[in-house]
Structure 1
Amino acid sequence: MDLNLKNLFPETENLDILKHQQVTRLDLLNALNFLINEINISKKEEQPQKWLKSSEVKALLRISPGTLQNLRINGTLTYTKIGGIIFYSYEEILKVMEQNKVNRNTNE
Structure 2
Amino acid sequence: MVEVINDKNFEEKTQDGVTLTDFWATWCGPCRMQSPVVEQLDEEMGDKVHFTKMDIDENPNTPQGFGIMSIPTLLVKKDGAVVDTIVGYHSKEQLEKILNQYL
Q: Which has the higher strand share?
A: 2
Normalising by structure 2, report the TM-score.
0.28
Q: Which has the higher helix share?
A: 1
Normalising by structure 1, report the TM-score.
0.27
